Every structure is written in C-alpha cells, then in structure tokens.
Structure 1
Amino acid sequence: MEMVRGIAKETLEFILGASKNTAPNEFAGLLHEEDGVITDVLILPGTESSDRNAVIKLFMMPNVESVGSVHSHPGPSARPSEEDLRMFSKTGNLHIIVAEPYDKDSWVCYTREGQPVDLPVLDIELEEPEVI
C-alpha cells in the first residue's frame, strides 16, 4: 500500500450524500485506495447504524486492504469520540468523520491517533467498475 495523496472528489461526494441520506443515523464504511487516491468506500455486511453510533463488523472484511474508515456524526461536531479512536486503531491510518450539514466544509480527516490531517480532494476521473 502506498502513501495516500488525496481522496477523489466523486468519492467524497458519495460519502457526503450517504451521510446526509442516513441522518440521523450514522453512516460507516472503510476506505480503499488505488494508486495513492481514496477511490472507494467499502460497506461491510452486517454494519449496524443508529443515531448514537455505527458498528462495522470487521470480521466481515473481504480480502481487501483498507487505508482507514469513514463515518458520520448526527450533530455538528466532527471530533472523534473515545469509541472512534478505538476503531481508528483497528482500521487503518486515515479516518474521515462527517458532521451536519454534511457538505464540503463539514468533514475532517484524522490520523489513527486522532490528529487532524490535510487530505486533498482530487478532481480525477474514476474508472467505471467492470461488469462480469
């Protein structure tokens, strides 16, 4: 896995839309990168979501590497809770929290230790997935 240099604009737009659509319940997923760019959100089977938290069933993780996690908060704070920090330590190095109003200015990326980190939004063309 190489160094992550940003997140695809289209992927961030998906995250913001999914967060808004599931509110007041939390949205949660794992982040996948290709060529140093976060391009996909993996929604694991069995993920439970409520207005208090989201629980990702890590034992359902397919044989795919994750660079981190993403989840939403039902209020205006994007600060990680103690539970968030415990999850960060298990699911990679970069973690996005999205808060109300779920727009381009209401998300923060954190390190696994909970320190804010700059994650550039890249306007790149994503490949269409192959249909088999």
Structure 2
Amino acid sequence: MQIKGIARETLDFILQVSKSTYPLEFAGLLQAKDGIITDILILPGTESSEVSATLRLFMMPNISAVGSVHSHPGSVIRPSKADLRLFSKTGSHHIIAGHPYGPGNWKCFNGRGEEISLDVLDVEIEDEELL
C-alpha cells in the first residue's frame, strides 16, 4: 500500500500517549486506510520499561500493519539495533517519538532505518461501527 501520510489526529494521539507513559516507552503498530495512517494497534502483552518496549507480535490479530510506532524517553530520535529488528518485521513506515513529545519531536523511518518524509494530513477520521 502506498502511504500518503499520517492523520494529524493520529500523530497527536501518538505524542499524547508517549508523554503520558513517560519515562516508559510506548509501542504499537500502525494501520492505514486509503493510504493514510489513521490507527494505532496496541498489542496485548506489550512490555514497557525506561529503555525498551517489547511488542508480542505473536499476539497480533489477523490484520495488516504498515509499520510501527514507539517512543524514546530521551531526545535522541534514531533507531537502535533492536528497533531495526522490529522494523524488518512490521511494515514500511516506522515512527519514533522523542522526549518532550512536542509537534517536532518525531521522525519516520523506512525498514532500513533511513529517515523518510511523512506528511501530516488534516483529514477527518471516520469511526467504524463495531459489529
């Protein structure tokens, strides 16, 4: 799927959750609708600490993810070796949010850990009805 960008509301959610879980790391998977990242999936069994967050990928339901998201309690916004291992398993777009989790404290990376551009889009996210 070609990713056009991320919904501003979704990015705001990422930054708010990152700030509220600080100093622990927050982690989740990114989902997209019509090429726009709109949802964050938080997997059961995710473990967070001040130095890492571990996603239990075996807990992932039968859905597709376009990438991952996690926070760094420090201001360094670069993928670690552990991040790169996760990136290789979870899609093409990976967001890292860094402390203090403001509008300019995040970056997007491809699966190789290279910084890539991700537009922030002002779109309305439609709520899906639960069955």
Match of 2:10 in 1: 11
Residue type of the partner of 1:35? D
Counterpart of 1:108, as a letter, is K
Distance (whole Å) between structure 2 residues aligned to residue 81 and residue 130 of structure 1: 38
Instruction: Return the offset for 1:103.
Output: 1.0
Is 2:119 the counterpart of 1:120? yes
Paired residue secondary structure (1:62): coil
What does residue 97 of structure 1 align with?
96
What does 1:40-119 align with in structure 2 at a 5 Å threshold? Answer: 40-119=39-118
Counterpart-to-counterpart distance in 2, 1:131 and 1:44: 19
SS at match of 2:3: coil
Please state whether the residue corresponding to 1:64 is helix, strand or coil.
coil
Tell me the amino acid that sits aligned with residue 67 of structure 1: V
CA distance in 2, matches of 1:41, 1:123: 17
Listed as ranges, the gaps of 5+ residues in structure 2 are none
Unaligned regions of 5+ residues in structure 1, if any?
none
SS at match of 1:125: coil
Report the CA distance between 1:128 and its aligned residue.
1.7
The CA distance in 2 between the partners of 1:67 and 1:131, in whole Å, is: 22
Give 1:130 deviation, angstroms. 1.1
TM-score, length of structure 1 as denominator length: 0.97
- Other structure's SS at 2:83 match: helix
Query: Distance between the aligned counterparts of 1:62 and 1:21, measured in 2?
Result: 26
Whole-angstrom distance in 1 between the partners of 2:29 and 2:61:
11
